[in-house]
Chains A and B, each alone.
Chain A
Amino acid sequence: MADQSNPSFSLSAWLRGNWPILLVLAALALVPTFAAATDNPFLIRLFTRAVIFSIVAVALNFVLGYGGLVSLMHSGLFGVGAYTVAILAFHDYEATKFLGLFAGTDNLAISMPLAFLCAMGVAALTGIISLRTSGTYFIMITLAFNQMLYYFFVALQQYGGEDGLQVLANLHFADFNITKRTTFYYVAVGVLTATIFVFARLVQSRFGIILRATSQNERRVVALGIPPLRYKLMAFAISGAVTGLAGALWASGQAFVSPSDLSWVRAGDYVVMAVLGGMGRVWGPVLGAILFVLLEAYLPSWTQFWQLPFGIVVVLIVVYLRGGLVDVLGLTRSKSASNTEGGHA
């Protein structure tokens, strides 16, 4: 009985369920080599975008797929992280002080953790209010917060307002120069890998299981003696923090950030990426983000009305693959099969 109730971790079982992400990460790591061989540096740009959006989609899916919270403010949180890096770099370049108090910095070893913390703070503060609602109301409140963040950065004339803010300082991470295009790409893939690993741990920890239980039956969670709000808040803050980190990468990679990165349309795109890829796996949204970015890049070369076929692809996937792209791989666990993971992962 002890064996049955406490199955030990099995690598082969893990591989059976998760091999595609290893393949995808390996393929992503080979992109610069392929780009060099085909003399197509645009590929690195494109996949840097895909990798950074993947980080956001994975972070979003933690609250979306596992917490049942449809957030439309993740582009805003992304923007908070991006602007943190850009504004600090701006003050460093201009040799002025932020709010007349703090000097800026071009050191990402300082500004990236700050971006992480700022996004976490914004997520926590807004979460205290938004997480008291659920369903449609939650969606509307997060949308409202996203618009507030958007117009907040539009209003900051000193930092470019509507035109956005160029990063003119030479960013570096401690003593390392990571802004070279290929190096930066590898850093982004590394962050994505770490993100997937951390969230994979989180969703099967005690904390993660409470979050998943809350999305299935919040009333029951309360009746068991668990107050759900603090767990949802913590989950939202973690998701927001990682999203802010992705924003920081974005600002460093493009040396530019603009309010359009905070638009609510982008927030909707992140939700689409998570749903397309598959919300039932931590890494599912990575597939969605890559497909999204590829379609967005290549469909317009076939037709200027590219959003039409794009929409059709999304509809087909949602209708025929309830589990997203993860379903194509036949990895959605059959409902009746017994499984040792305690639930659908």
Chain B
Amino acid sequence: MTPILSVNNLYKRFSGLVATNDLSLNVMPGETHALIGPNGAGKTTLIAQLQGELAPDSGTISFKGRDITQEPPHRRSQLGMARSFQITSIFPQFTALANVSLAVQAQQGHGFKFWRDAWRDPALNGPAMEALATIGLDHRAQIVAEDLSHGERRQLELAMALAMKPSLLLLDEPMAGMGRQDGQRMTRILSGLKKDYAILIVEHDMDAVFALADRVSVLVAGSMIATGEPQSIRTDAAVKAAYLGHRS
């Protein structure tokens, strides 16, 4: 089976700091792959390079068998890569439904349509409501996004990603800043999505990581120090020393 996402020998340096150091990584179709590592290990930098917001200094990124290293971010999204941000990134003045409708619209092609009322377009609102229902936010569809709770905004971001009908979800700490209850709900939502999507997830919540991931990769100071099944990662001595040990 060929990987849906394949990262080969990626380097990224910020003046003195090596943020990504000879990093290689594969995400297989249908796999949930977790990326863990201490703060400052370069996880978000890696996600940003995968999504295209940052350009790597060297190395290649292939997505669905195609080299996308030079593709701009919006092209990568069109190809089926959907990112959720570590710091919630939504449209605060739109309703939850309108936020997701925009994602549907992006997925349907260009937006050079100047006349028809898009707020009331069933071709947009239908799939948007479906995505909201999938993550259990449909009852909040008409609420302006800035009035949603933090947990709901994280869910909304996920709904926007789903509405893009992606083949790969890049989730950058989807549980960041959530309380225990919201975090558990998000874990349940994600385990429901697992079977339908390939997922690369960055997460600090170890309960969630070990509950969701098929494989776990450990990133320390820009280098991948281990990749494997959750159980073997949990017992890996180098990982314990570098990371897990600090947290418990």
Contacts and interface: CB of A to CB of B under 8 A. Distances in A.
Contacts of B44: none
B221 interface: no
Given A335-B144, A340-B142, A206 B91 contact: no
B129 interface: yes
A132 to B, nearest CB: 14
B142 A338 contact: yes
B105 A6 contact: no
Contacts of B94: 212-213, 216, 342-343
A223 B54 CA distance: 12
A226 B117 contact: no
Nearest to A238: B114
A17 to B, nearest CB: 13
Contacts of A206: 105, 111-114, 116, 118, 121, 124
Interface stretch (B22-30, B95-103, B189-197, B234-242): B95-103
B95 A4 contact: no
A47 to B, nearest CB: 30
Given A204-B119, A209-B102, A210-B105, A5 B129 contact: yes
Contact of A207 (B90, B97, B112): B112
A16 to B, nearest CB: 16
A344 B144 CA distance: 9
B114 A205 contact: yes
Nearest to B108: A206
Interface string B75-91: 10110001101000111
A314 interface: no
Interface in A213-266: 213, 216-217, 219-227, 231, 234
Contacts of B115: 201, 205
B164 A224 contact: yes
A6 B120 contact: yes
Contact of B90 (A5, A210, A212, A217): A217
A221 B74 CA distance: 8
A226 B121 CA distance: 19
Contacts of A216: 91-94
A18 to B, nearest CB: 14
B31 to A, nearest CB: 22
Contacts of A343: 91, 93-95, 98, 144
A258 B175 CA distance: 61
Given A223-B51, A223-B89, A205 B116 contact: yes
Contact of A226 (B74, B113, B141): B74
A223 B77 contact: yes
Nearest to B143: A338
A4 B122 CA distance: 11
Nearest to A344: B93
B74 A225 contact: yes
Contacts of B67: none
Contacts of B89: 217, 219-220, 223
A174 B138 CA distance: 56
Interface residues of B, number: 52
Contacts of A213: 91, 94, 102
A210 B125 contact: no
A221 to B, nearest CB: 8
Given A204-B117, A219-B89, A342 B98 contact: yes
A342 B101 contact: yes
B14 to A, nearest CB: 19
Interface string A333-345: 0011011111110
Contacts of A201: 114-115, 117
Contacts of B78: 225
Interface in A303-345: 335-336, 338-344
Contact of B77 (A6, A7, A225, A335): A225
Contact of A220 (B91, B126, B147): B91
Contact of B125 (A5, A207, A219, A336): A5
A220 B116 CA distance: 24
Contact of A224 (B92, B98, B106, B147): B106
Nearest to A223: B83
A9 interface: yes
A226 B77 CA distance: 8
A280 B90 CA distance: 20
A128 interface: no
Contacts of A335: 144, 146-147
A344 B112 CA distance: 21
A217 B101 CA distance: 15
Contacts of A212: 93-94
Interface in B129-186: 129, 138, 141-144, 146-147, 160, 164
A338 B144 CA distance: 7
Contacts of B82: 223
Contact of A7 (B85, B102, B120, B160): B120
B90 to A, nearest CB: 7
Given A1-B129, A339-B142, A9 B120 contact: yes
6 contacts: A4-B141, A207-B111, A213-B91, A220-B89, A224-B106, A343-B95
Interface of A: 1-2, 4-9, 201-202, 204-210, 212-213, 216-217, 219-227, 231, 234, 335-336, 338-344
Given A205-B114, A222-B77, 7 more contacts: A1-B129, A1-B138, A205-B113, A210-B102, A213-B94, A224-B77, A225-B74
